[in-house]
């Protein structure tokens, strides 16, 4: 083979190698992370077009390394969905409602609430505080055994908007640990005390595997307005998808206990289905 022919073949192979590497580099830049209004989502963008396309798709030096390697391919990172607002209502067929109780468990009132729910074969959500749950893990175990959902209401009921990220995480994570120890599962729902949410609370809650749940109807039972007033607020606010906020701790909750015995049979007689929600994903 002539020297000129050998040199020509070598140059042709080198051009082919660099052309293939450039194509791989262009394909590798197509994946973009886009932040939506309610959740982080991953989308695929088309390659850049126009006079800047060549510059945008220029491969890095690492793209020229061999494309074969050892071991299984790396899995795509799992996406963390971060909401920008809490869930206020629930989806369900017909006249579906959700009852929620905050701040417990409390030895004086929580057992009575559970007894009433059991009497009517109704399930509810309990957003517990870690410092209370630590004292009565047996009540958390009973909640789960009877089909209720245990949610995270922070450790000591602080105003999250006045805390740093590390403090918010500690409040949530400690409570989830106590719930898991008592029930064998970690909470999938959380509620900010006082309904005071911020971006950090949504992000940290999502990182801990929880959805934010607020409410539609506030009974204001913490003001102790009387059992009949509490019951009237629930019955007047009843509608498909409504989430009702009550309390089973944090003060004298005897009115809340009596009100539940009044409005629960009335809601059932009116055709409402009282249940607990499933996780929702954006």
* Domains of the chain with bracketed CATH: 3-64 (no CATH), 96-274 (3.20.20.370)
* Percent of the chain with pLDDT strictly greater than 90: 67
* Average pLDDT, rounded, for the chain: 79
Residue-wise pLDDT tens digits, 44-63: 233 333 333 333 333 333 23
What pLDDT, on a 0 to 100 scale, did the predictor assign at position 79? 64
Q: Which residue of the set 106, 148, 247, 248 is catalytic?
A: 247
What pLDDT, on a 0 to 100 scale, did the predictor assign at position 22? 39
What pLDDT, on a 0 to 100 scale, did the predictor assign at position 49? 38
HSE (side-chain half, CA atoms, 13 Å) at 150: 33
Element holding 127 (H helix, E strand): strand 125-128
- Cα(160)–Cα(36) distance, integer angstroms: 24
Task: Scan for tokens 């064998």, then name that residue.
Answer: 184
Length of the chain measured in residues: 282
Element holding 212 (H helix, E strand): strand 211-212
Among 6-10, 118-122, 181-185, 210-214, the minimum mean pLDDT is found in 6-10
- Cα(118)–Cα(261) distance, integer angstroms: 11
For strands 31-35 and 40-44, give the pairing.
antiparallel
What pLDDT, on a 0 to 100 scale, did the predictor assign at position 92? 73
Place 91 in a pLDDT band, splitting at 50, 70 and 90: confident
For strands 243-247 and 217-218, give the pairing.
parallel
38 — phi, psi (to 5°)? -120, -20
The neighbouring-strand residues paired with 32 are 43
Element holding 173 (H helix, E strand): helix 165-183
Residue-wise pLDDT tens digits, 153-188: 999 999 999 999 999 999 999 999 999 999 999 999
Place 278 in a pLDDT band, splitting at 50, 70 and 90: confident
The vertex-64 CA angle with 60 and 65, nearest 5°, equals 120
Q: Which residue of the set 102, 103, 221, 248 is catalytic?
A: 102
Sign of torsion over alpha carbons 30, 202, 240, 125: positive
Whether 98 shows a pLDDT value over 70: the answer reads yes
280 — phi, psi (to 5°)? -115, 145
Structure tokens at 100: 């929620």
- Cα(124)–Cα(100) distance, integer angstroms: 6
Burial class (CB in 10 A: 0-12, 13-18, 19+), 145: exposed
Look at residues 122, 119, 118, 196 and name the one whose alpha carbon lies nearest to residue 153: 196
Three-state DSSP class for 110? helix
State yes or no: is 247 an active-site residue: yes
* Three-class SS of 176-209: HHHHHHHHCCCCCEECCHHHCCCHHHHHHHHHCC
User: What is the model's pTM?
Assistant: 0.72
Place 279 in a pLDDT band, splitting at 50, 70 and 90: low
Q: Is the bond preceding 105 in cis, omega lying within 30 degrees of 0?
A: yes
What pLDDT, on a 0 to 100 scale, did the predictor assign at position 78? 57
- Cα(25)–Cα(225) distance, integer angstroms: 68
Place 4 in a pLDDT band, splitting at 50, 70 and 90: low
State yes or no: is 123 an active-site residue: no
């Amino acid at each position: 083979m002539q020297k000129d022919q050998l040199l020509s073949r070598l140059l042709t192979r080198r051009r082919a190698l660099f052309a293939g590497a450039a194509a791989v580099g262009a394909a590798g830049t197509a994946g973009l992370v886009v932040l939506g209004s309610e959740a982080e989502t991953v989308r695929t963008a088309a390659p850049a077009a126009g006079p800047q396309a060549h510059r945008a798709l220029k491969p890095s030096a690492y793209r020229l390394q061999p494309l074969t390697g050892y071991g299984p391919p790396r899995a795509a990172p799992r996406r963390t969905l971060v909401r920008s607002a809490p869930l206020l209502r629930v989806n369900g067929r017909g006249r579906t409602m959700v009852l929620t109780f905050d701040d417990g468990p409390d030895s004086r009132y929580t057992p009575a609430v559970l007894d009433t729910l059991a009497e009517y074969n109704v399930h509810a959500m309990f957003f517990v505080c870690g410092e209370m749950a630590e004292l009565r893990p047996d009540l958390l175990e009973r909640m789960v055994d009877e089909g209720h959902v245990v949610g995270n209401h922070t450790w000591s009921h602080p105003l999250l908007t006045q805390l740093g990220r590390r403090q918010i995480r500690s409040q949530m994570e400690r409570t989830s640990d106590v719930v898991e120890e008592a029930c064998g599962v970690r909470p999938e729902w959380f509620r900010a005390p006082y309904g005071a949410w911020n971006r950090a609370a949504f992000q940290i809650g999502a990182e801990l595997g929880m959805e934010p749940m607020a409410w539609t109807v506030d009974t204001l039972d913490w003001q102790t307005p009387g059992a009949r007033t509490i019951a009237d607020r629930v019955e007047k606010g009843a509608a498909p998808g409504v989430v009702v906020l009550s309390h089973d701790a944090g003060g004298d909750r005897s009115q809340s206990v009596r009100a539940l015995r009044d409005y629960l049979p009335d809601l059932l007689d009116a055709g409402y289905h009282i249940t607990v929600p499933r996780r929702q994903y954006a």
